[in-house]
Amino acid sequence: MVPEVHYVLRTGVANGRMVFIGVGGRIDGVVDPELEAAAGQTVQVTLINGEGMQHDIVFELPDGTVRSARVNGAGASSSLSFVAPAPGQYAYFCSVPGHREAGMSGTLRVVREMPKAPPLAADLSHDPAGVPPAVGGRGPQTVSVLLEAVEAEGRLADGVSFPFWTFNRTVPGPFIRVREGDEVVIRLRNAADSTMMHSIDFHAALAPGGGAMGLQVKPGEEKAIRFKATSPGLFVYHCGTPMVAEHIANGMFGLILVEPAGGLPPVDHEFYVMQSEIYTAAPFGKLGAQEFSVGKLLDERPEYIVFNGAVGALTTLHPLRARTGERIRIFFGDAGPNLTSSFHVIGEIMDRAYPDGTLRDAPRQGVQTLTVGPGSAAIVEFTPHVPGRFVLVDHALARVQRGLIGFLDVTGPADPELYRPEPVSAGAP
């Protein structure tokens, strides 16, 4: 089940009453907050015991009550989930005798559609469909790429912004596509209003620092390098200016594909997806403009883990779309800087996968989950035959709660031989 809206409530005492207190987002610090959901949306509620008395949380819904397990000790927690019923107001409360009357009670308001919050900052997330056309069919040539390092406040989640550092104002930066044997000329310009020096380390280049030694560029300046793309595969590039992990975590990364001579087999859709971590000083879900935390970076404790730079980048903003029977190729990269991804598409089997991004080995077939470490990449291919929503995740699934989820929405005719609902017949074993 995919939680579409997640609320966290902590038990506590306010003005001498026992209450629920909202944690994170719009309800942060609010006593007995009004919870909101759209009809049909999956609602997940996590209850945290804040003070050590026994509690639970119960929702009175038209189809009956939904209740959490009791939480007994301080710090204990329990979650429940349900599908939001028809629009209306529904009560929630603690069912331990006397607690509802003592103040532990609130309202779930179900609306037809959730109102869109006005964006706090521009969406910098790279559209996964933004992949340039294939080049493998031509001969080797010189390819020139201009990249600009731009520091810009961007949307991290609804109502949340972050001071991103980017290549060309998107996270990830542009998808660079060259052919084996190409001479690649990279010009890096650092915007005049940047505060930092920036650079690029290309994993596809045989050069000191992956080219970063020749590309350390001060604000307002420009430098260039030239390298030969010798090894076909999908490679990460990233800023290589110290502290490198900070420059990566703040958004300075992308992928460069070196196509083999003759190219890759044609497909119907190619998508560009990168996983990364974001280290904010305030906890996940805190609204407003966020600040970077070097302490959390060094402790490897990200608050946000995302695809394409932001919570919702591949769900509400730019979901992947295809029709049944269409061939899909995903170029997947893990920018890290710290976490290894167990990349998985819920409901699909990757029938061709190129682990580690190399195109010098034959693909593996029938892969369920691919391990992709920081600074590595993979190419996966499959053909959905069943319509519906397929979900991109890191199978370290707790990370869904920190924003790491994407949708592949597939339309078109069903294939009942592969999948169909089965009626429950009386008397069956």
- Enter the tokens of residue 156: 């991290």
* Span of 23-31, 63-71, 193-201, 283-291 interacting with Cu ion by CB under 5 A: 193-201
Cis status of the peptide bond prior to 387, with omega within 30 of 0: no
Residue 158 vs 246, nearer CB to Cu ion: 246
Residue span 200-239 as binding mask against Cu ion, x where in contact by CB under 5 A, dash where not: ---------------------------------------x
Count other Cβ atoms within 10 Å, centred on residue 265: 11
Strands 5-14 and 42-48: parallel
Q: Is 198 in the site for Cu ion (CB under 5 A)?
A: yes
Question: What part of residues 232-261 is at the interface with Cu ion (CB under 5 A)?
Answer: 239, 241, 247, 252
CA 237 – CA 209 distance, rounded (Å):
11
Tokens 């998985």 label which residue?
344
**Min separation Cβ 284 and Cu ion, Å:** 24
Residue 180 vs 277, nearer CB to Cu ion: 277
Residue 15 vs 195, nearer CB to Cu ion: 195
**Min separation Cβ 66 and Cu ion, Å:** 48
**Min separation Cβ 226 and Cu ion, Å:** 21
**Min separation Cβ 255 and Cu ion, Å:** 17
**Min separation Cβ 239 and Cu ion, Å:** 3
Strands 160-167 and 35-38: unpaired
**Min separation Cβ 274 and Cu ion, Å:** 16
* Span of 115-123, 168-176, 196-204, 417-425 interacting with Cu ion by CB under 5 A: 196-204
**Min separation Cβ 245 and Cu ion, Å:** 11
3-state SS, one letter per residue, for 210-254: HHHHHCCECCCCEEEEEEECCCCEEEEEECCCCCHHHHHHCCCEE
Residue 252 vs 287, nearer CB to Cu ion: 252
Residue 174 vs 312, nearer CB to Cu ion: 174
Q: Is 166 in the site for Cu ion (CB under 5 A)?
A: no
Size of the site for Cu ion (CB under 5 A): 5
**Min separation Cβ 147 and Cu ion, Å:** 11
Q: Are 5 and 42 in contact (CB under 8 A)?
A: yes
Count other Cβ atoms within 10 Å, centred on residue 366: 9
Closest CA to 108 of 58, 48, 64: 58
DSSP class of residue 357?
G
Residue 94 vs 188, nearer CB to Cu ion: 188
Q: Is 329 in the site for Cu ion (CB under 5 A)?
A: no
Output the CA torsion sign for 92, 96, 98, 99: negative
Nearest residue to Cu ion by CB is 239
* Span of 35-43, 70-78, 194-202, 331-339 interacting with Cu ion by CB under 5 A: 194-202
CA 333 – CA 369 distance, rounded (Å):
14
**Min separation Cβ 169 and Cu ion, Å:** 14
Residue 46 vs 241, nearer CB to Cu ion: 241
Residue 239 vs 393, nearer CB to Cu ion: 239
**Min separation Cβ 196 and Cu ion, Å:** 6
Strand-by-strand arrangement of the 253-259 sheet: 176-179, 253-259, 233-238, 201-202
CA 224 – CA 218 distance, rounded (Å):
13
Three-state DSSP at 209 gives helix
**Min separation Cβ 315 and Cu ion, Å:** 28
* Span of 78-86, 153-161, 190-198, 268-276 interacting with Cu ion by CB under 5 A: 190-198
User: Radius of gyration (Cα) for the chain, nearest Å?
Assistant: 24
Q: Are 54 and 93 in contact (CB under 8 A)?
A: no
Cα–Cα distances (Å) from 144 to 23, 168, 169, 206, in that order, read 49, 15, 19, 17
Three-state DSSP at 150 gives strand
Residue 196 vs 346, nearer CB to Cu ion: 196
Residue 45 vs 252, nearer CB to Cu ion: 252
Residue span 387-416 as binding mask against Cu ion, x where in contact by CB under 5 A, dash where not: ------------------------------
Residue 120 vs 217, nearer CB to Cu ion: 217
- Enter the tokens of residue 162: 């972050």
Residue numbers of the site for Cu ion (CB under 5 A)? 198, 239, 241, 247, 252
